[in-house]
Chains A and B, each alone.
Chain A
Amino acid sequence: MLIVENVVKAFGSLVVLDGVSLTVKPGEVVTILGSSGSGKSTLIRCINGIEKLDAGRITVDDFDVTKPRELAEARKRSGTVFQLFNLYPHMTALSNITLAPIEVLKRPRAEAEAEARALLASVGLEDKVDVYPAQLSGGQRQRVGICRALAMKPRYLLLDEVTSALDPEMTSEVLDILAKLARDGTTMVFVTHEIEFARRISDRIVFLEKGKLITNLPTAEFFSAAGGLALPRVAQFLSKMQKA
């Protein structure tokens, strides 16, 4: 289980996460919605240990990210896919994917490479194995980014606006892959502005408003008049997003 407990995070005097609690069970897809600046990225960055918490606790399968000795284990259990891909520019698609399995998990190179090839094939990039990031389109880069995260066999996949740097065609390339992962039971924490897509693949939707989690509901309920839509902020957000 991924447990976020009363997390507080401030930058100077700006409180960005204000007592956030959230539990993600294995197999669940949880989508985080919220307007710009509400703290979604910061929450993801707290879960993968990039940001230090000011208060509260985050455990990934019982490994506490706030404890330096447990952070490494916690990190092995989660994988992150980034908005701007963040691929290693000096390495081929294959090496981008095999680096951490070889260096962190100490997997034999041949095995790691065979798995990476299979992953690339599963996202339609079997012919891009030896290509460098600069030679790939945005959608292809993000597919490599997803493979890089999956190669570590994470129990939780963290995705922060992974399609917002992509044009519509590339977005659907990437969303198709995420939908397939969701069907296969991959646990995901998913920050997105793709509301319709979130509605299709999520088990639950949480809404962040100025650093506070104001709802945490099963997807159908979130979109129902008596559930999420009963909250003015959520209704306002959804109508704005649907117009856009």
Chain B
Amino acid sequence: MRLDLSLLIPYIGLLAEGAVMTLEIAVLSLAGSVVLGMVVAIARAGKSATMRRIAFFYADVFRNVPFIVQLFFFYYGLPEIGIYIDAFTTGVVALSIAGGAYASDVIRAGILAIDDGILEAAEVSGLSRRKIFTLIVLPIALRTSVRPLGSVLINIILTSSVLSTITLNELTGQARIVSSDTFRPFEVYVVLLAVYGVLTYLVSTGVSMLHRRLNRDLQPEVN
């Protein structure tokens, strides 16, 4: 059997739609993960013992349960107790919750790495706790966290392929349709491999650029 990609031409639109949906899901889930990760990182570093315990519990549970189990729980489990959420929302929420557990670790590490002296300087200058957090702690933590957060994003993109199991026609879902339409799984999945590869490559290039921009002071000065 020969590799004949031309027979996929009629399906390019379908696959592109899938890729766009994968990107949409990834971007929304990344935003969700980072926001959730920040909240949990703050709770884990915070004063309240109850909040700390809840935050640790969350981070542990969602890192230690297979994603597909979490997903099925949300999509097939919750309707049993009267909670219906559409597939797209479920996918984004599930990925955000799972990604948030990892993102909280990354952001927490970034926060803990900040030199105490810098925080003291901010404190004695009279800045409020909230200002110190938003203007000093988070920006410094994010500088060091961009790269590992990039890995979280790539993981989200890869994991999003599992969403095809809850009827969502993202990239992998579309590919399955095309494959069963054409009876040419080989060609279809060769293309799929390439598309995921390109997608994650673009993301990691973007992350590197962002990292360089946020840490531009550490670059050799251009005269």
- On whether the two chains bind one another, the answer is yes
Smallest CB separation, B179 vs chain A (Å): 48
Complex Cα gap A135–B217 (Å): 7
Check A103/B135 contact, CB under 8 A, given A133-B217, A134-B218. Answer: yes
- B131 touching A103, Cβ below 8 Å: yes
- A132 touching B124, Cβ below 8 Å: no
- B121 touching A80, Cβ below 8 Å: yes
Complex Cα gap A99–B172 (Å): 49
Check A90/B140 contact, CB under 8 A, given A50-B120, A82-B117. Answer: yes
Check A50/B124 contact, CB under 8 A, given A84-B117, A103-B135. Answer: yes
Q: Hey, which chain A residues are within 8 Å of B124, CB to CB?
A: 48-50, 75, 78-80
The binding surface of chain B is classed by DSSP as helix
Report A120-151 CB contacts with B as 1/0, cut-off 8 Å: 00000000000111110000000000001000
Q: Hey, which chain A residues are within 8 Å of B115, CB to CB?
A: 86
- A82 touching B217, Cβ below 8 Å: no
Smallest CB separation, B118 vs chain A (Å): 5
Q: Hey, which chain B residues are within 8 Å of A99, CB to CB?
A: 125, 127, 135
- B136 close to chain A: CB less than 8 A: yes
Q: Which of A33-80 contact B (CB under 8 A)?
A: 48-50, 72, 75-76, 78-80
Smallest CB separation, B137 vs chain A (Å): 11
Q: Hey, which chain B residues are within 8 Å of A86, CB to CB?
A: 115, 117-118, 120-121
Q: Hey, which chain B residues are within 8 Å of A114, CB to CB?
A: none
Most B-side CB within 10 Å, residue of A49, A76, A86, A148: A86
Q: Hey, which chain B residues are within 8 Å of A82, CB to CB?
A: 117, 120-121
Complex Cα gap A31–B138 (Å): 37
Partner of B118, one of A78, A79, A88, A132: A88
Report B59-97 CB contacts with A as 1/0, cut-off 8 Å: 000000000000000000000000000000000000000
- A234 close to chain B: CB less than 8 A: no
Report B122-149 CB contacts with A as 1/0, cut-off 8 Å: 1111110001000110011001000000
- B217 touching A132, Cβ below 8 Å: yes
25 A-B pairs in the complex with CB atoms less than 8 angstroms apart = A49-B123, A50-B124, A72-B126, A75-B125, A76-B126, A80-B124, A82-B120, A82-B121, A86-B115, A86-B117, A86-B120, A87-B118, A87-B121, A89-B140, A99-B127, A99-B135, A103-B131, A104-B125, A104-B126, A132-B217, A133-B217, A134-B217, A135-B217, A135-B221, A152-B125
Question: Which 3 A/B pairs are nearest by Cβ-Cβ distance?
Answer: A132-B217, A86-B121, A100-B125
A50-B124, A100-B126, A132-B218 given; name 11 further pairs at CB < 8 Å. Answer: A50-B120, A82-B117, A84-B117, A86-B121, A87-B121, A88-B140, A90-B217, A103-B127, A104-B125, A131-B217, A148-B125
